[in-house]
Structures are given as C-alpha cells and as structure tokens.
Amino acid sequence: MLAIKCRLPLNSSRILATAGVIRRREQKRHSSLTIETLNPLVKEVEYAVRGPIVIRAGEIEKQLKGKHNFPFDRVIRANIGDCHASGNQVPITYIRQFVAGCTYPELLKSSNFPSDIKNRVERLLSVCGGKSLGSYTESQGIITIREDIANYIQQRDGYPSDSNNIYLCNGASDGIKTIIKLLMNNNPKKPSGIMIPVPQYPLYSATLSEYGAHQIEYYLDEDNNWALNIDELERALNESKDRCVPRGIVIINPGNPTGQVLSRENIENVIRFAHKHQLFLLADEVYQENVYLPGSKFFSFKKALMDLGTPYNQMEMASFHSASKGWHGECGSRGGYYELINVDKDVKVQVNKLISACLCSTAWGQAVMAAIINPPKEGEPSYELYKQERLTVFNRLKEKADLVSRLFNSVEGVQCNAVMGAMYAFPFT
C-alpha cells in the first residue's frame, strides 16, 4: 500500500483552521436576549418626548454640520421643557455658587464667596459622610435638605410637614415611577388601573406600559381651560372597571402639556371624587412656581385636602416637585422630591426598602434641590442678585406664554387657551 503525503501551503492551513473555529463558534453561539425574547412590556413603552420625531431631529442636526439641502440651518427643539438647552436662560448664580461650594469646598476660603452661601454649604456638608458631597447619602436623602423641604411645604400650605415623609429622588419622574410601582397588583388578567389625563405628559403612559398596568384615560375639558370634569372622570372610571382594578388618579397642576392652573373648586371636587372611589392621589406639581396669568393662583392638593377637613384630610396622597422646572430649570441635575401624606407606616417601611436598593439619589441633584427650596433671604448678601435673576427669568417665561397663545389664535381654524402656567401651549381645532 502506497502512502501519499500531502502538505497544504501554510496560508491554506491557517484559512481552514480559522474556518473551523468560526464554525464551532457559530454552533455554540446562543443569544439569550433578542427582540423576540425581550420583555414584551418594554416593547410596549412609548415616550414621545424623545421618540421618532426627536431622533429624526438629531439626524438632521448632524447633516446640518456638513453639506445639506435643507432650507434652514438649525433645528429648534421645543419638544421638552429644558430651558437651559434653549440657550435663552442662564443659570441662577446663587444655585451654581451653592453647588460649586458643595463640590469644591476650597472655594469657601475666597473672600469673593458670599457669606450666606458659605453658611448654607457648611451646614449641608456637616451632615455628609466625610463632609463630602461625593459620599452616599441616606436613602431618603440628606436630612438637612429634607428638613428644609418640610419647612418650605409648611410655609406654603400652613400645615405641618414631617421630614420623615420627604423622599429626595432623581427628578420627579423617579419618584412618580416609585409610587406607581407601589400601586401595582401583579395580576395580568385584571391589572391595576391608574387614571391619567389626556392630553398628558408621556411619562405616565410609558410607565404604566412598562409595569403592565391599565391606563384609565380621562379627557381634560378644553372648553373650560382644560379643567377636570367630574362627569368625565366618572365615565372613564366606570368604563374601565371590567378591565382593571382602579387604584389611583394622576393630576398634573399646573398642566403639562396644556398649561392650565386648576381652580381651588376644581381641586376640591377632584378630591371628593377620589375619596368616593378610594383612589390614591398622585399630585404632579412640578410647575407650581410657573403661574403667569393674572387672577390665577397655585393651590397645592395637600392644602386643599387639609382645608376640606374630615374625612378628606385622611386621604392618601403623594405630591411631587422638581429642580427641572420653575424659574431655575436645572433639568440635568436630576433633583426632585415627593411627600407622602397619610400613607400607612408599614407601607413606608416597604418604600424605604425599595429605594434602599438604589442606595440614594444623586447628591448633586439633592444639593440643587436644597438651593431651590432655601433661597437667599432679604438682607443676605446674595439676595439682590438672586431676586433680579429670578424676576428676569419669570418675566421672560410670562411674555412667551402670552406670545405663544396669541400667535396660535391668530392662525385661522386654530384655537389655544391662555397659557395660565407651566411651560406649554396646547392648540386645538
């Protein structure tokens, strides 16, 4: 028998060996996560504020940097209430000095640094681990900030507020998602239902989709300055009862994206409705400092709840505030808080457990929130500049609110209610 020895060229051997490795890898490869195996609830989530239109805008902005055929040279982003990003609103000096001092305490040695800000910074850092804003905070947030928030709420409403009921969070959105999560029943056949306004801020519909909850949509009354119509609330609730277990109602006041400021009477009627149907109140009040129209006034749901007395003052509620809106517009700081009112102590234990899993909200955002709710007082070194800058921002927002509604109403076939508050107009035909 003749044995023939055959030797392939070196390169050919390497090619065959590589091909063999690739085939073996292909045989072993298994994708654990594909679009088919992805959590189906995630695929249901839609967030229009940063959806397809915004993505397309980003693509156009990139094209505008090179050769293009567009009949314009820039994209104006009006999809989100981000005042600093517009380039037309400068940061408030007091807020930035306070945060700068918290993050780099060496600045406090400068004689140019206002003494009132130094005192505030030193007070805050004294309760931080290692006297550094870079340390983890308590899960609920830094205690002195929660105490200041409780004092702010008490001065606003005239009713006591307990720092133990205050929870600092990464923007109001984070707090809202936490509270909605608490209301879920984990029953896909008849899930929890949350009443949300239409039009509404897409955070709510996106969150409810993510959690597998049912959206009970109630329509705001466009012919009555986007007020909440109680008959409409009853209709929406009754029509949903065979598909879900109604658990809560979301009220956005001042309105996003509709710009209304609810009257005290309207708020009280909503509270009575929620009490009748045993609904948890979620009061989104992040625009409480954005009220422009003469005769309009912000009333907190907490104050209305307490003013109504028994049995309404025993109702469960969470109210939300944010560093992103108001006259400060510190969106990127992700500062915010919520107050739990009349919530069972055992439930609060579970809330603390839930938020502890994330350790704490960003300390930088907490510091921004601290500056916002404890501003300079008259007579302090920072007061005059703070007052001037705040008034300038507010007046510009007020002028734009009036301008936008007038321009919409000048278009044939288009109507727009007066922008009473917040940062948005919602035209209709």
Residue 181 lies inside a defined structural domain of this protein: yes
pTM: predicted TM-score of the whole model, two decimal places: 0.85
Residue 393 lies inside a defined structural domain of this protein: no
Residue 287 lies inside a defined structural domain of this protein: yes
Residue 323 lies inside a defined structural domain of this protein: yes
Residue 18 lies inside a defined structural domain of this protein: no
State which residues form the domain around 189. Answer: 136-373
pLDDT, averaged per 10 consecutive residues of the chain (429 residues), comes to 46 55 57 74 66 84 86 82 76 94 93 93 94 89 96 96 95 91 89 94 88 94 95 97 95 94 97 98 96 94 96 96 88 90 93 87 92 95 96 93 94 94 91
Write the CATH number for 301: 3.40.640.10
Helices (H), 277-362: 301-308, 345-356
Residue 388 lies inside a defined structural domain of this protein: no
pLDDT of residue 28: 54
**Contacts with 401 (C-beta within 8 Å, 6 or more apart), sequence order:** 259, 292, 293, 419, 421, 423, 425
Pair of tokens at residue 82: 């981000």
What sign results for the dihedral spanned by CA atoms 123, 129, 130, 134?
A: negative
Residue 128 lies inside a defined structural domain of this protein: no
Residue 183 lies inside a defined structural domain of this protein: yes
Instruction: Indicate the number of domains in the chain.
Output: 1
Give the residue among 208, 209, 213 at the shortest CA–CA distance from 40: 209
pLDDT of residue 245: 94
